[in-house]
Chains A and B, each alone.
Chain A
């Protein structure tokens, strides 16, 4: 069992839909990260969370430390949001990555 699990693995949405990607972890962490990777490209850090909720534009990330669970929400999704979204946790001075969620937003 992976230490960081994401669901769903693949997600197709229509433009404008509200999207949720989930992440569960089983290790002690100092922070949780949501990352975005476009095809063939580098990785962009979207959020770093250790508690509560953060919002940036149409993106919202939440974390529940007691339940070891985090969610990434995208409101009013757009085709340019199509990418792989990766949950990663900071543990033992390095990042442990989830397997990613491939999101395709269709116009």
Chain B
């Protein structure tokens, strides 16, 4: 069991659908991260929230929209995705953006039809 919980574990969606990925942690961490991981590759950073404010956007396409409603929750809203967006999406948290280590969730495996 991980201390970072991601839902759903699997998601299949069409290119015209709108869906959201959710991430929750109750460790009091103030930095939260979204990563995208393709098969046999390391994770790629997408977004970082620090104290509920977006601090890093790694030039991610606008069809991915992050949201941090409070310090425990992180969402990733998906709209009009492309087949190449199929991947494992990992959420992580850390005490703050400077102090690591990061705690990772188990990920959401996303398939775009």
Check if A and B associate.
yes
Give A residues with C-beta under 8 Å from B. 30-31, 33, 35, 40-45, 48, 86, 88, 90, 93-95, 97-100
**Distance in angstroms between the alpha carbons of A31 and B88 in the assembled complex:** 26
Scan residues 64-89 of chain B and give those whose CB is less than 8 A from a CB of chain A.
88
Instruction: Decide if the interface of chain A is mainly helix, strand, loop or mixed.
Output: strand
Q: Tell me, yes or no, whether B45 is within 8 Å of chain A by CB.
A: yes
Q: Which of B55, B90, B103, B105 contacts A45 (CB 8 A)?
A: B103
Contact status B106-A42, CB under 8 Å: yes
In the assembly, what is the distance between CA of A33 and CA of B41, in Å?
Answer: 17
Number of A-B contacts (CB under 8 A): 50
State whether the Cβ of B56 lies closer than 8 Å to any Cβ in chain A.
Answer: yes
Instruction: Decide: A95 and B106 in contact? CB cutoff 8 A.
Output: no
The 8 Å CB contact of A42, one of B2, B40, B42, B101, is: B2
Question: Assuming A42-B2, A98-B42, A100-B40, what are 9 further A-B pairs, CB within 8 angstroms?
Answer: A41-B107, A45-B102, A48-B101, A86-B42, A93-B48, A93-B55, A95-B45, A95-B102, A99-B41
